[in-house]
Amino acid sequence: MLYTQFKTGAVDVTGIQGISAEFFSEAKALPGVTVHQHATPSVEYIYFNHGRPQFKEVAVRQALYAAVDKKAIIDQIYYGIHKPVEGYLPATSWAYNADLPKQEYNPEKAKQILEESGWKVGADGIRAKNGVRLAFTNSTTAGNKLREQTQALIQQNWKTIGVDMQINNMPAAVVWPRGRRARGGSREAPAPLPQAPGSDTRGPAVPAALQLRAARGREAGHGELQAQQQHADQ
C-alpha cells in the first residue's frame, strides 16, 4: 500500500491515489507531515439500471434515496471528512445546482412511499408488486474497503424498509464491461459530467470531491513532497 510506504518514508509522492480516509487521523500525527484538505476531481454514487422493473418507478427510487443514511456514511466510513451533495456533481462544479432539495434520511417516509405505490411487504419481509420482488444486486470493484463498507451500511438501510440488496463485487475488469452491457441491478460507478460553456465537448468535465494532501517536510533546500488521495462526496 502506498500509504504504508509514504509513512515509512520509502515513497515521497503518491500522486492521485494517495491517502484514504481511514488513515486521515494517523497521517495528521506523523512527524514532519501536514495534512491539507481541498477539492479534487472525484465523485462516487450509486446508479440504477432502469431496464429492471424494480427501478422503473420514480417512487421506488425516491424511497431508496430517502432510506440512505448519508450522514452515517460520511461520519462512520469517511471519518466525517466529506460533505453531502445532491445529484452527481460536487458543490465545486460550475454546473452544481445549490437549490436542489436536500435529501432527508427518513426510513418511515420511504416505507410510506412504497406502501402508497403498491409495494407490499411479503412473508419473507421483502416488498413485492405484481409478482416482482424489490430485490436486486449491487456491484462495485472488489477490494475497495470504503465502497464495501458503504455497501454494507446501505444494505442495512434498505433492509429496514423491506428491500433486499445483495452484494456481488468483482474485479474492475469484470465490473465495468458488466456495467456497459446494462446487466444486473444497481452499481457504483464514476459519473459522466457535463462540459463547462465553451469547453471541448468531446470529453467529460471533471467533478470535485474532497482530497487529503499530506506534505512531508524534507531537509533544508528541498521542497515539500506530497501524497494525495481522491475521495468521494456522498
DSSP 8-class letter at 82: -
pLDDT for position 183: 44
Please list the alpha-helical segments (H only) found in the chain: 2-8, 24-29, 58-66, 70-72, 107-116, 145-159, 172-180
Contact 208, 191 (CB under 8 A): no
pLDDT for position 185: 47
pLDDT digits (tens, 9 = 90+) for 144-170: 888 999 999 999 999 999 999 999 999
**Cell (9 digits) for 153:** 451500511
Contact 211, 92 (CB under 8 A): no
Pairwise CA distance, residues 72 & 109, whole Å: 18
Per-residue burial over 98-117, b = 16 or more CB atoms within 10 Å of its CB, e = otherwise: eeeeeeebebeebbebbeeb
Tally Cβ neighbours within 10 Å of residue 199. Answer: 11
pLDDT for position 113: 98
Break the chain into its structural domains and give their ranges. 44-69+105-207
Enter the CATH code of domain 44-69+105-207: 3.10.105.10
Contact 161, 66 (CB under 8 A): no
pLDDT digits (tens, 9 = 90+) for 197-206: 333 333 322 2
pLDDT for position 14: 58
Q: What angle is formed at CA 120 by the lines to CA 115 and CA 121, rounded to 5 degrees?
A: 120
Pairwise CA distance, residues 232 & 81, whole Å: 10
Pairwise CA distance, residues 80 & 58, whole Å: 30
pLDDT for position 15: 58
Print pLDDT tens along the chain (234 aa): 677 887 887 876 655 556 777 788 888 888 877 777 766 656 678 888 999 999 999 999 999 999 999 999 989 988 887 878 887 787 788 888 889 999 999 999 999 999 999 999 999 999 999 999 999 999 998 988 889 999 999 999 999 999 999 999 999 888 777 545 444 444 444 333 333 333 333 332 223 333 343 444 322 222 222 223 323 333
pLDDT for position 154: 96
Pairwise CA distance, residues 117 & 105, whole Å: 19
pLDDT for position 133: 97
Pairwise CA distance, residues 41 & 127, whole Å: 38
The pTM score is 0.70
DSSP 8-class letter at 24: H
β-strand pairing of 132-133 with 127-129: antiparallel
- Which has the closest alpha carbon to 230: 197, 199, 207? 207
